[in-house]
Every structure is written in C-alpha cells, then in structure tokens.
Amino acid sequence: MTKSVYTFGGGVVHDDARAKDKNITGGKGANLAEMAEIGLPVPPGFTITTEECVCYLKDGADFSDALRAEVAEALAHIEAAVGKKFGDAGDPLLVSVRSGARVSMPGMMDTVLNLGLNDETVKGLAATSGDPRFAWDSYRRFIQMYSDVVLGLDHGSFEEALEIAKEDRGYFADTEMLAEDWQELVGEYKSIAESELGRPFPQDVNEQLWGAIQAVFDSWDADRAKVYRRLNNIPGDWGTAVNVQAMVFGNMGETSATGVAFTRDPATGDRHYYGEWLVNAQGEDVVAGIRTPQYLTKRGREAAGAELPSMEEAMPAAYEELARVFDLLENHYKDMQDIEFTVQQGKLWMLQTRSGKRTAKAALKMAVDMVGEGLIDEVTAIKRVDPMALDQLLHPTLDPSAERHVLTTALPASPGAGSGKIALDSDLAEKWANDGAKVILVRVETSPEDIHGMHAAKGILTARGGMTSHAAVVARGMGRPCVSGASAVSIDMASRTLRIGSAELKEGDIITLDGATGQVMQGEVPMIEPELAGDFGVLMEWADKYRRMRVRTNAETPNDCRMARQFGAEGIGLCRTEHMFFDADRIMAVREMILADDEAGRRAALAKLLPEQRSDFTEIFHCMAGLPCTIRLLDPPLHEFLPQRDEEFAELAEDLGIGADHLKRRASELHEFNPMLGHRGCRLGITFPEIYEMQARAIFEAACDVTAEGGDPVVPEVMIPLVATRKELEILRALVDRVAAEVFAEKGRTLDYTVGTMIELPRAALMAGEIAHEAKFFSFGTNDLTQTALGVSRDDAGKFLAQYVDAGIYPRDPFVSLDVDGVGQLVSLAAERGRATREDIKLGICGEHGGDPASIAFCEQVGLDYVSASPYRVPIARLAAAQAALNA
Amino acid sequence: MTKSVYTFGGGVVHDDARAKDKNITGGKGANLAEMAEIGLPVPPGFTITTEECVCYLKDGADFSDALRAEVAEALAHIEAAVGKKFGDAGDPLLVSVRSGARVSMPGMMDTVLNLGLNDETVKGLAATSGDPRFAWDSYRRFIQMYSDVVLGLDHGSFEEALEIAKEDRGYFADTEMLAEDWQELVGEYKSIAESELGRPFPQDVNEQLWGAIQAVFDSWDADRAKVYRRLNNIPGDWGTAVNVQAMVFGNMGETSATGVAFTRDPATGDRHYYGEWLVNAQGEDVVAGIRTPQYLTKRGREAAGAELPSMEEAMPAAYEELARVFDLLENHYKDMQDIEFTVQQGKLWMLQTRSGKRTAKAALKMAVDMVGEGLIDEVTAIKRVDPMALDQLLHPTLDPSAERHVLTTALPASPGAGSGKIALDSDLAEKWANDGAKVILVRVETSPEDIHGMHAAKGILTARGGMTSHAAVVARGMGRPCVSGASAVSIDMASRTLRIGSAELKEGDIITLDGATGQVMQGEVPMIEPELAGDFGVLMEWADKYRRMRVRTNAETPNDCRMARQFGAEGIGLCRTEHMFFDADRIMAVREMILADDEAGRRAALAKLLPEQRSDFTEIFHCMAGLPCTIRLLDPPLHEFLPQRDEEFAELAEDLGIGADHLKRRASELHEFNPMLGHRGCRLGITFPEIYEMQARAIFEAACDVTAEGGDPVVPEVMIPLVATRKELEILRALVDRVAAEVFAEKGRTLDYTVGTMIELPRAALMAGEIAHEAKFFSFGTNDLTQTALGVSRDDAGKFLAQYVDAGIYPRDPFVSLDVDGVGQLVSLAAERGRATREDIKLGICGEHGGDPASIAFCEQVGLDYVSASPYRVPIARLAAAQAALNA
C-alpha cells in the first residue's frame, strides 16, 4: 500500500524514496527527512503527502480511516522519540503544523506552533518546564495563532485584548507580562474565540491537530495562493504536504533563541553567512517585526553598524555548531541554503532547510562561483540560473529601496523600468523626446501607427491588451518597459487628462513604470542601471557549449540587429518588413500604393518604396554579415497603414491630388471585421503580386550589393506569411524565384537564398507534408497559431484571460508560454510531416514563445533547429536552450 | 506502357477500360467509343487522353515523340477505316477536332470542322464529292473556324468579307454563293489570315492538326473555362481530352442534315423525343442561329405551330433509324441522352451522346418515371438527382421567359427570387413591409441588428460579404433570397441614393434579385411559384429509406421549426438562442444586462429576460414534440447587442436613468479588434455565469412545462459553444446540471437532457479525447472551425476568395463546401478521439456545411450521426445523406 504519512527524525531511516521526494512530501518535509538522515538535529515529526491534499480537495470529503490510522501511528513515533504524550496532562507533547508544497509558496497557511496545549496540558507544560510564564505565554500564542490561521477569526480582537491587558497593568512590553497575566489573558482569548466561533475553543488535542491539517489543505486553494501560483506558473494540481513536528522552544529563556539564515548573501551572492536571530523568541517573532532581529554574524552586525550582539558573539558554541551545519548542508545540497533553526536551552535544532531564493545577480554569481569552488559542475550551474531572471540584469530597474506610490498594477508586459512625462499620443511623445524630455506614452492601445512614439518613449502604458498585444510585443522587441491591460487607466482625449485608479492626472505629469511587476507609480522613482558582470559572459559561454538549438533574433532595425548580435544572436529569425513601412518619409508612398485604383497606380507607388526598402535591407545585411536572415514579406492587412484622422486624409488627398472623400471611401472599403483573419499575409501577395515583387527585389538587390562590397554574404531566407495551402506557396515561391533570377541577371552575380513559410495557421500545420514540397524552411509563428488554434485574439483576450488562468482553464497565459497540449500538437505534427516530405527542412520558431524558457524546452523536444527571440530575450533563449538540451 | 491515344469506330473494340473511362478519354470520347462498340454508326476517330492535357499544361513543353507516334498510328486507323488519306490531294481525309472533358464544359474550345483542307486537298474534295461548291464552302468554313478558335484571329474580319462578297454580287443568302464565289472568298480569307497572323494560313495538314490539339489543351485554362469551373465546382486539374474524328457532312445537299436531340424533354421531363435539325447544314449552323432550326418531331412542330417540316416528316427513314438509336441509347445508358447526329446523303451518323442536362423539375420527374418504367431502380433514381437542384423547386423563381435588365451580378448567397422597393435600413424595410409593400433590403452589410428588416424583406442585397456572411447565413435560414458581395453597389446614406454599376437609383425604386444566379435586375421581373409535385415526395421517401444519418434543422423561431418539420427535419441541431435577444421588446433588457456595472445589475436584467426566453423555448418544444433539440447557449460577443446610433443610446440612457456618455464609454470598453476571436461563446459563460444560468433555467422550465401539459417530451441537448478546453466544459456542465436539478426540484419532475459542446476551434478538435469526458455530444461548428483553421474571416474573405478559387488555391469556397483536406482532418480526428473516450458520443454537424451535399458525403464517411441544415436545406440534406450512404 502506498503510504500517505512519512515519519522523520528520532533515528528513522526510510528506504522509500517517496519520503524524500519533494513531489510527495513537499520541499519542507523532504528536506527535514534528509537532514535527519544525514545526522543533523531535527525534532522528530511526520509529513502527510501532497497526494492526500489533492484527494481531499477533489473529493471534499472527510479524511479516511486509513489516513487517521497512519497519522496516529506517526504521532506515536514522535511520542516515543521525545518521551512525551500528545494531550498528556502531565508531560504533554506539543507539535508545530506547517504546510509545505513542492516549492515554497507564500499565500498558503504557514505555521501553527504549540499545538497540543489546552487547559490541562498547559499545567503539565508549566510543571515539566518549571516555567509557568513560558507555558501560559505559549498557550496564549497558540490560541491566537490557531484562531487566526485555522479558525479564521479576526486576529485584531486578540491583539486588542493584549494591548488592554498591558495597559491595565501599566506594562509597555510583552516581556513584562507575568505568568498570571498570561493565564488571565488566556481566559479572555478563549471567550473571544468562543463568542466569535459560537462554540468553545477546541480543547481536544486531536480535534486541534485535524483542524490544522484541514486548514493547511484548504489554504492551497485560498485566493492569495491562487494568485501567487498564476504569477509564478505553478500548477494548481500539485497540492501541499502537511508537516507535523515536535515543538522545540526558542523562548525558554536567555539560552534559547531562534533564527533564519542563508549560507550565502541572497542579494549579492557573496560567500558570507547571512541571517537574523532573536534571543528567547519563537519563530514568528523574527518575521513579525515585534522585536528587531539581530544580525547573525559579527561581520554583518559591524557592516550595518548595529548595537545588539550577533549570535556569533552572544552564543559562540551554538553559532559554531550552526556554521558547521551550514557548510554541511551546502556541501550536501550543492546549493545556497535558506535555513530556520531554534536553540533550546543551548541545543541547536534545525527546523527547515531549502535552496534559498536569490536575486538574478546573486544566482549568476553563485552559479559561477560554485563551479570555481568545485562544488558544482558547469551543467549544474547552467541549470541553476532561471533564464527569466536574466531579464532583470538586462534592463534598468527601480531602486528597490526607493519609495513607490503605486497607482495601479497591471500586466508586466515588457521588463525594465522607466519614468517620464505622460504623452497621450505618439506625435507628442516624439516631439517631447526630440526636445530632450523623458516621456511615457500612455494609450488605450497601440497600433503600428504608434511605432515612432513607442520608440521615442522611455516606457509604454496601455489601458487594453494582453502580454502579447501590439504594445507588449513591440515594446519587448524594442527593449522598452511596458505595462499593458491597465484597466484602471481611463483617458479623456478631449481634455488631455487621465485617471489611473482614483488619481486624476494630466498630460505632462510624471509617472514611473515597472515593467517587471506591472506597477504604475506616481512621480519619478530612482533607477539602478544594469550591470553586466563578468559572470554573465561566463555563464553564457557555458550555455553555448551545451545547447543544440541556434538562437536568432526578431529584429528589423539596424539598432536592434546590432544589439541582438551583441547579445549573441546567430542570425535573424524574423524581420518584419512592414515595420519599415511606417517611417514618416515612406508612409505617404505606402498609402498611395494602398489607395491606388489599379495595378499601375500601385506599381508607381511601389517604385518609390523600392530604394527605401533596399537601403533598409542593405543596413541589416551589413549588421548581420555572415549570418542567415529570415525576412518575412508584408503581413498585416493594408488598412493598418491608412490614415486615421481627418487631417491625415486631407494631407494625403492633397498629396495625391484626389478628393479626401474618395480616399475615405476607399479606406472604408478596406475596413475589416476581423483583420486578424482578413486580407493579409500571403493573401496580399496573391492578390497584389507587385507588392511582394518589390520586396523580393529590394532583398536581392541589397544582398547582391552587400556581397559586391566584399562583406560576408548573408543568406536571405524569404518567408511567406499566413500560408494555408501548398498552392499559395507554390505561386509565391515562383514569384520570388523569378525576381531573384532577374536581379541576379542584372547584377551579374548569384547568391544562396531559400524560400520558406511561416506555419501559423492550423491548416498549415495539418498540411505541412504538402507545403514542405515548396518550403525550404518552416518558421512556427506561434502567436498567430495560438490565436487561431484557441480562437483567441490576443488583443481582446484581456477581458477573460486572467479569470481563465485563475480558474485553471489555461495553466498559463498561452501567449506567453506555448499551449503545449493543444498548439504543441500542431507544432510537433507539422515538424513531423514537414520532415517526412523534406528530410533537411529547417525548422524554427519566431513567435513570442521563442523567448520563453518553457516553450523553448518544448522546441527542443520537437527538435527544432533554432528559436528566435526579441533582442533582449536572446541571452534568455541561449540559457534556456542549453537547459532544454541538458534536460532532454 | 500506358496509352495516350485511343481509337474508336471502324470496328475497333478495346479491352482497355481506359478507352471508355470518362476520366481518361473525357465524356465525349468515352461515349463515342461506347456507341461504336454497341454497333451504332460512329465515324471513326481517336481520342487523346486528359492526362496528356494535364502534362502539357504543367510542363508547357512541346508534345513528346511518343505522343506524335501514337497520333500518327491512330490517324492511320481512320485512314484505313474510311479509305482516304489525311492531306491526300486526290481523296483527302477531313477530320473534326473537339475538346471533351469529364463533364461537358462551356468556355473551352468547342470544335474545328473540316480540318485537313488546303489549297490542294480542296480540289480533291471537289473531285471526289463531285460538288466544288461544297468543297470550297467547306474550305472557307474551315479557314474561318480555325482562324477563330485555333489562331485566335478576329472573326469579324471574315464575316465582313463574306458580307461584302454577297453585297458585291447582289446576293442575300449564303446559299446563293456559287463555287467560284466561295473559291474567291477563300483567297480573301487567306489574305486576311496572313495579314493578321504575319505568316500564311497553315497549309500543312499536320501543322493544322497539332495546332488544333494545342488549342484544345490551351482552352482548358481560358478565363471563361476557369470561371465556369469555379461556378460549377469542377477541379482545375482534370484537363480535357481531344477527339479527332473523320468528318461526315450534313451539308452535302438535300439528303443531308444535322441536328441535336434529347431522348426526353429536358425542361419538363416528359417522355417525348425533343430536338432540332437543319437540312444541308453543318453542326455549327444549328447552334449559330444563322438559319432557324426545324423541329425534330411532328409533335414538336405542331405544338409550336411551326411551318418548316420536322425530320420525322421530311426524312422518315433516317428519323426512324434515329428513333431506334434514341431508344437503344436510353436503354444502354439508362438515362436521358443529349445527342448530336449528322445525316450524310441519307445515312445517319452519331457524333455525340451524353446524359442530358435538365431542369430540377425534369430531373425529378425523369428519375421517378424511369423507376416506374423499370429502367432504373430506386437507388439509381436517388443518385440521379442533384440535391442542390431541389433548391430551385423550393423557392419561387423568376419566369425564365421574362426579360431581365441586369444591373450587376454578385454572389448567389441564398436561392429564390424577390422583387420590391429598395429600403436602405431595416427599420424602414419593416415599416414599409408592415404597410403592405414588398421590400428589398439593401445594405453595405447586415448585422444582427438587421434581423427584423431581413425578415420583413422579400430579398436582401449586400455590397459586402461572402457566401457565409451574416446576410447569407441568415437569409438562407429564413428562406429569403439574397445576393451578397455586390461590390458594384455603393450606397450614399446621406442622400438615400445608391449606384448599382452605372445605374443611379434611389430608395423606393424597385429592383429584383435572383438568389440562384446572383443577378440584380431593375424593376419587377415576373415570378413563378414553386410546384412541389408528387414526384418530390416520392423521391424523399426513397431517400429516407436509404440514408443512415439523421437530418435536423438549424432553427429558432416557431415558424422555422414548423417549416423544417414539414420538410422532414428530425429535430433541431442548432437553436441559436441569441437570435431571440434581438426582439424589439427584449433588446432593452439585453442591453441593460450588458451595460450593468456588476453582477447584481446583470441579474436584475436577466430576470426580465427569463420569462421571454422560457416562452420561446415553450413554443419551440411544442413544435418539436418528441424530437431532440440542441440549444446553444449565448454565443456572440456582447457588443453585438449594443446600440449603434446616438438616438438609441439616448433612449437606452433614459430608460436606465444613466447618462448616455457613461453608456457610450461602457460600450466602447466592449469594443473588440477581432470579435470572432474575442469575449464570446463559453467565455461569456465562464465570466458571467448568471447569463448561462438564466438560459439553462428557461430551457428546463419550458421543457418541464411542455411535458406537464402531456405533450411528447423533447430531449433538450444543452450545447456550450466555443469550448477549447475540458475545464471550460467541466465548469459549465456543472452549472447546467445544478440549474437542472434546481428546476426539477421546483417542478417536481425530471426529464432526460444532455450537455455537450460545439467543436468549432482547432484546439477543441485536437483535445476532443479530453473534452469527451465532459460531453455527451459533439456538434461540429464547421463555420467557425473553417474560420480558425484557415485563418479566414468569412465576413472579410470576399476581398480575395474569388481570386483564390480561380487560382486553384481553394477548390471551392471553403465556407460553402467543407475543406476536407484541412478542416476535415480536424473533424475526423475529433470524431475518432471523442469516440475513443466515449463510445456512444453523439456526433453531428451544425455549420452551414450541414446543407451542402459534398460536405454531407464527408460527414457520412466520418460516420457522424446527423447533419443539421437550415429549414429550406433539409430536403437537400435528406437526399444528399441518402446518396452519401449509397456511395459509402
């Protein structure tokens, strides 16, 4: 029979691997068992598995007799180990009850201490400890804690009662309370609990225990826990374990203490012990801030200029023992540990150890240092650093010590932080930026028309749109911080004012965005610039050694290309040619082309665009010399390029010598109900072949010119977007081949190039075997593939996506992390069918998912040849690709 | 080696089935071979296969030596059979060259006669026939025809030259031309040809022959042929065969003749020979209308009151032989035949036979009659009638003899015809209709707001939208004729005028729509009412006997339900509850619900809607007593229900006692970029569960009430739309089950119901195995599945769809006929996975494809349990389902 309860401590050694499997006994339980087995002083206890939690939450039923029997047996194990009996009025066993999921997870029930106290056992505790004050203090702590976290009563009443009790007696500090005072307060606490609860505070110690177990299980589904899981991508079906452990007391006088510590500095990664402790206290006192904790080490105390003695100074023996444990644990776990301990009357007890949370900088430093120390190898170092954490290192961040006046929190759409004057339109943003001001562009949503404003801005805030809305995607590509989907923002363009939550602001007011948290703050918050320490380069080098997939970048400006190469990009995976169409000096020609009445008109306008586009490509090919460049031909529906405002129509009409009304009618004819599914992508190439002809010509002319200058040749990979049928690609490949031949003939040289397609529609994935006959490469456009497979517009998903993730309908935002179960099927099926037709077909991904570590892991599984990410995500992708290869 | 040329006639009997396989030798070639083999008088000849055409068009290259050798051999066969030599100056063999695809296809090159004549052979022909006039007439005919159809010269020049020749000589008719006159004209024709061509008219008979062969192949890809194929869903990769046949001459004097005939009347289906003939003429004279053809039978002549003698009267012996051939052919082919024949100096020759085209009415009558005659069995009769042709029988149609002033031709979006006053908005359309006027609603496009106007109108014309645009779908559902995507229509709402092509019209002007052809006509064109003859019922009864799939209907009004039952619907496959939301007396409550600030506000508005919706369901359940009814909960994005115009906002604001600006802001918050992929379907149910609760309650209350009255109980099948994940359905199924339990408890009764889902997103299809755990049935929503799988918005597809079909990218409009290769994979995969999880899961289709015969055939293959179609398509679906079952 599978066990549901595992004991630890008191000399127990399990041969059942489940006992130390975090998935079964949770992080805390597994580590307690492990520490006990390697001989560290761990108070005996037991762990109820996460599986029981999942069962409980699913069936909502009572606990089984089998479980009750296992718990009783495990309790007997503790009793035997410590020589006390649970509920024994003479010499009672007290226990702590704690939650413990696979990963540490704020938001769940944390701890109940001193469980097992009641009106009888408190007397036994007083007698055996010889300290009635300690016993009654423990009892009142227990009532207060249990009432709060298990019974859900308002803790304010208890705090108030304690305040009154002290006032009545003229005390200032809790320490002045005598045993009788605490005893009296216990009486009051019990009445408070009874009146709120409608029944007496439970005296039955088993009822206390099961209540606490149930509370731990229930807390898995508390709202705060759900939100935390959503933000941290923790599946809702893991559940939590429950740890029940014999109490040890840090509050048994001046030879007792409690503390938390890290084996290295979690903020910097420096190799010093780091921690806090309190004499004569229980664990919650350290965290609760009632007393100011003291530094653990002399070094720490001196560095902070603190008065109160460090543990190193005050309890040298216990400290020495602790330091020995630190080294032992770090050697054992091969990682920096986050530790909780208690000293009871001079004896050290370990209550918890886990791999410590750390800043990105610390993670990087520790990983590299530990390789140097011979503690871990490169592979472990690579696996140890969360790729997403690198993001913090690549963008300026807010000074964590600065005060923040947060107006609202929305989606952390693009990392980094920025401050500036609010500009409500892109022209103004650009103007102010040109005048030297720092600007934050605030829009209901952005469109391709806003590119110049976004570029000019230090940050972008939108009222609508999700993590992959236009604003988010473009901002990430540009490396601009962005907060999107801020529904608390409402803009009144008429008065050029806006509300953010309850604050009234006007254009020109200064705000600060934190793209890493989604916070929008009033005024300017001080920043710290990124430090690309040497450790960064070292880790990247190791990553490159172990990864199989290539990493390219999504870029279309020379600036982005240069930055991406600096970050290690090995080519361009997606160059979106339409971004070049929005430049102020081109948009007129673009509009002329779109609004032309016939092909001749379009060709005339395209002739104006050709030299512009060719010079774009020339610059890009210079930047990317020697590397492959995937260039996607025009993709968005033409109406995206059209004027929006009357003045613009008037200007264009004058320019073209046509009536503005005529233009407006033409423009309205281009309106689409669902532009995402409209006349775009290769459909433009089929219906207006002259557009793709011009683009192909610009590509090949530029490539020939750059090669003629003697530079390393680029390999243009011409990519046809939105293909759903073999025939589309057949027609357009023939067009590209024809133009290439023409240009090569004119230029008197040839060069290597390929033609391929995006796989971004479900039908394309299904028909990949057919399409591969025409395609030298597939690039998975997983943004659009997600939109179509799930039937979700990323621009409109904000209305329900958060609720969907909370309800567990999507494990994560499917635009951020690939929906492996659904969309993933299409990707792997297309890869398989594509390869069946063309063994050496090159496969890559160029959706936003190309910069998401979980999605990159999937790409490795499917065996893609490369991933492509926005420039700032290139290092993340390199590390994630290495991890994926190592985990494969 | 596979043969590319098959001979026929002259005693040839092939044991190669390809010789008589229409896919290989085309309809014409296969039937010539077959007629020859059953002993009918067929001039000897040969057929070049369709495969050669496909090769030729693909490779664009010259003809292979192998082909040339086979043709030479086949030509020798003709020469041997008729005892003349091709190009022999003494006694030349002349041939005809004709195209012949699998199915008869106007738009391709038809015929070149008299090929093999040149300046030398014409003399031989004159000598052997003893008729120089005949020889020179044949030669000039040949030059003219060859110049026109093979060389692509302007035939006007030739006609002009003939006119001048007659004028010069003072002749009125061609028959007055003497041999010398023709000879002289031949000289002129040759100079015309040479000057236009830049080289002499080809004298080499082999050059003539290969030129004609090439012209036939090329004509397969002529624009007219492509358009015909698109309109008739003929694949572009079939190709055409070429038939080369020894000439026989109907123009060798008064004992010669030529004619076309049908074995039964193709218009009515009556069992009489029917046809036309001309004495002393060649085939093209009958068709060209230079001379008025005479009736074939005495009966026909008398019925028409014609003067000129029938063939029955004028050539009794040849006629008798012909009649014998008619009976023989009808008995052989078991179908009405369309025949071409020539009488050369008293001897009958058969030049073509094929199954004759017929009207829907005739098809029906002939199918039923032939079963009565014992000629065919029921199964053949069922297979013989094109289900789509039934459409003609179910709607009023324009009198075919009436004159039409066609303004434009656009998409035939919903069959039937209608005349009426142009109304440019739905309110006016309804008002005028209430006043007793016949109205045609003309809109740029329609939206759900136009339902009342569409209902009031006799027909709908839209400037935008495809075959499955809102207008088209709703019109078909209502049985209203509709012409959509009429880009020649431009509306000026300010002046309430419109242009259709070059015509200026104003509101109130009368137009006529022909929904079967897409024609828009000025004024009122007379109609004929549908005749549901007894044959219709008989055929339907047979169909029901042989089909496996059930046929349901898409309906939501009692009227539609009644009509659908009358047409044989066996339940409702799709009841779109949102259509009920647009009623004038409900829309206010709907809007109140949508614009409510919180759940309480929504619930208050929903409480007003509950009794309305319940009474809808009560009516429907009465109509559908004893049958299953699939009811889809609210599907469209909420903003579809919002006011559009300022007055409406003002009205609503007053009604709700809220500021209109506040309302407008709320409304603008609901705006979506891609509503198709937005906050709709089950996403509404998840985020606003109270809406689905109200709808479920209305369904179960109505079902209980109807059952309580003692009627046959319906089985409500509650359908959750737009599901992409198992979890969505799990949550919403629990909601429906809870409401059902509540209602059953209140009503003190229970009834059978099921909960299922639409499969209309690619992800749902892929995850069908998971989803089936929660679903008792799947209904394939192939409209949306097509939109998402192909990434094509049906409302926006009009901009490129026609071009896509012309280019062969889509074989047909994928919204009309299911894309079996792509979308079909999703359907069959979902069916398979769904059944793997739940063996008895009920599977149906409720997209527009449920009424399309080709798609129904696919549904049969996949083994769906039922198809659901709009009421007027129910008979079509019944017949198509029977055909599908018989062909399975």
Residue range B197-214, pLDDT digits in tens: 999 999 999 999 999 999
Question: In Å, how far are A443, A487, B180, B447, B646 from B663, measured between CA atoms?
Answer: 21, 17, 90, 21, 11
d(CA A332, CA A320): 18
Given this model, what pLDDT does residue B61 score?
Answer: 63
Q: In what order do the strands lie in the sheet with B503-506?
A: B489-492, B497-500, B503-506
Counting Cα atoms < 13 Å in the Cβ hemisphere of B236 gives 22
Given this model, what pLDDT does residue A468 score?
Answer: 61
- Does residue A608 surpass a pLDDT of 70? yes
Q: Tell me the pLDDT of chain B averaged across its residues.
A: 91
CB contact under 8 A, A826 and B761: no
Given this model, what pLDDT does residue B529 score?
Answer: 67
CB contact under 8 A, A677 and B819: no
Using a CB-CB distance cutoff of 8 angstroms, which residues of chain A are in contact with residue B724? 790-792, 822
Q: Which of A285-299, A425-439, B296-310, B472-486 has the lowest mean pLDDT?
A: A285-299
DSSP 3-state of B324? helix
| Amino acid making up residue B853 | P
CB contact under 8 A, A725 and B809: yes
Q: Is B379 exposed, middle or buried (0-12, 13-18, 19+ CB in 10 A)?
A: middle
E strands, A586-644, are 628-632
State which of A478-482, B443-447, B709-713, B760-764 shows the largest mean pLDDT: B760-764
- Does residue B287 surpass a pLDDT of 70? no
Q: Which helix (H) or strand (E) holds A459?
A: strand A459-462
Would residue A116 be called left, alpha or beta, if left means φ above 0 and alpha means ψ between -120 and 50 degrees? left
DSSP 3-state of A779? strand
Question: In Å, how far are A94, A656, B433, B448 from A138, measured between CA atoms?
Answer: 10, 86, 85, 69
| pLDDT tens column, B32-45 | 999 999 999 999 99
Mean pLDDT of B872-888: 95
Given this model, what pLDDT does residue A104 score?
Answer: 80
Q: Which helix (H) or strand (E) holds B632?
A: strand B628-632
CB contact under 8 A, A727 and B760: no
Mean pLDDT of A832-849: 96
Given this model, what pLDDT does residue B532 score?
Answer: 60
Which is more confident, B274 or A155?
Answer: B274
| pLDDT tens column, B119-177 | 999 999 999 999 999 999 999 999 999 999 899 898 888 989 999 999 999 998 888 89
The answer to whether the beta carbons of residues A331 and A321 sit under 8 Å apart is no
Q: Residue B523 CB: number of other CB atoms within 10 A?
A: 13
Given this model, what pLDDT does residue A610 score?
Answer: 95
Tokens of A41: 């002083």
- Please give the DSSP secondary-structure letter assigned to residue A798: G
CB contact under 8 A, B799 and A673: no
In B748-852, which residue ranges form alpha helices assigned H by DSSP? 762-766, 768-771, 782-790, 801-806, 823-837
Tokens of A441: 């562009």
- Please give the DSSP secondary-structure letter assigned to residue A513: E
The answer to whether the beta carbons of residues B758 and B846 sit under 8 Å apart is yes
Q: What is the ipTM of this complex?
A: 0.79
Give this prediction's pTM.
0.80
Using a CB-CB distance cutoff of 8 angstroms, which residues of chain A are in contact with residue B687? 799-800, 803
Mean pLDDT of A784-806: 91
Tokens of B41: 């008088």
CB contact under 8 A, A795 and B825: no
CA max distance for chain A: 103
Using a CB-CB distance cutoff of 8 angstroms, which residues of chain A are in contact with residue B821? 767
CB contact under 8 A, A677 and B796: yes
| pLDDT tens column, B801-842 | 888 988 889 988 999 999 999 999 999 999 999 999 999 999
Q: Distance, in angstroms, between A598 CA and closest chain B CA?
A: 15
The answer to whether the beta carbons of residues B798 and B466 sit under 8 Å apart is yes
Please provide the size of chain B in residues.
Answer: 888
Given this model, what pLDDT does residue B352 score?
Answer: 92
Using a CB-CB distance cutoff of 8 angstroms, which residues of chain B are in contact with residue A800? 679, 683, 686-687
Residue of chain A with shortest Cα separation from B726: A809
Percent of chain B with pLDDT over 90: 65
Q: Distance, in angstroms, between B260 CA and closest chain A CA?
A: 41
d(CA A650, CA B193): 55
Please provide the size of chain A in residues.
Answer: 888
Mean pLDDT of A506-522: 92
Q: Tell me the pLDDT of chain A averaged across its residues.
A: 91
- Does residue B376 surpass a pLDDT of 90? yes
- Please give the DSSP secondary-structure letter assigned to residue A574: E
Q: Which of A502-506, A645-649, B723-727 has the lowest mean pLDDT?
A: A645-649
The catalytic residue positions of A are 470, 846
Given this model, what pLDDT does residue A689 score?
Answer: 96
Three-state SS string across A713-771, please?
A: CCEEEEEECCCCCHHHHHHHHHHHHHHHHHHHHHHCCCCCCEEEEEECCHHHHHCHHHH
Split at pLDDT 50, 70, 90, the class of A267 is confident
Given this model, what pLDDT does residue B652 score?
Answer: 83
Split at pLDDT 50, 70, 90, the class of A80 is very high
Counting Cα atoms < 13 Å in the Cβ hemisphere of B399 gives 9
Q: Residue A839 CB: number of other CB atoms within 10 A?
A: 8
DSSP 3-state of B4? coil
d(CA B467, CA A721): 25
Given this model, what pLDDT does residue B58 score?
Answer: 85
Given this model, what pLDDT does residue B165 score?
Answer: 92
The catalytic residue positions of B are 470, 846
The answer to whether the beta carbons of residues B453 and B473 sit under 8 Å apart is no
Given this model, what pLDDT does residue A175 score?
Answer: 80
| pLDDT tens column, A376-419 | 999 999 999 999 888 778 877 788 888 899 999 988 888 788 99
- Please give the DSSP secondary-structure letter assigned to residue A272: S
Closest Cβ–Cβ partner in A686, A792, A822 for B766:
A822
Closest Cβ–Cβ partner in B686, B760, B793 for A672:
B793
CB contact under 8 A, A799 and B687: yes
Please calculate the CA angle A370-A376-A379 and round it to the nearest 5 degrees: 115
- Does residue A288 surpass a pLDDT of 60? no
From A360, A330, A302, select the one nearest A536 (Cα to Cα).
A360
- Does residue B800 surpass a pLDDT of 70? yes
Residue of chain B with shortest Cα separation from A820: B763
Helices (H) then strands (E): counts for chain A: 35, 33
Given this model, what pLDDT does residue B286 score?
Answer: 66
Q: Distance, in angstroms, between B333 CA and closest chain A CA?
A: 38
| pLDDT tens column, A675-699 | 999 999 999 999 999 999 999 999 9
Residue of chain B with shortest Cα separation from A489: B669
- Does residue B288 surpass a pLDDT of 60? no
Q: Residue A450 CB: number of other CB atoms within 10 A?
A: 25
The answer to whether the beta carbons of residues B348 and B318 sit under 8 Å apart is yes
Given this model, what pLDDT does residue A529 score?
Answer: 67
Mean pLDDT of B241-254: 93
Given this model, what pLDDT does residue A842 score?
Answer: 98
Given this model, what pLDDT does residue B139 score?
Answer: 96
d(CA B739, CA A735): 59
In B554-688, which residue ranges form alpha helices assigned H by DSSP? 558-566, 584-595, 599-623, 646-656, 660-669, 682-687
Which is more confident, A600 or A516?
Answer: A600
| pLDDT tens column, B673-690 | 899 999 999 999 999 999
Tokens of B798: 């009009």
Using a CB-CB distance cutoff of 8 angstroms, which residues of chain A are in contact with residue B767? 821-822
Percent of chain A with pLDDT over 90: 65
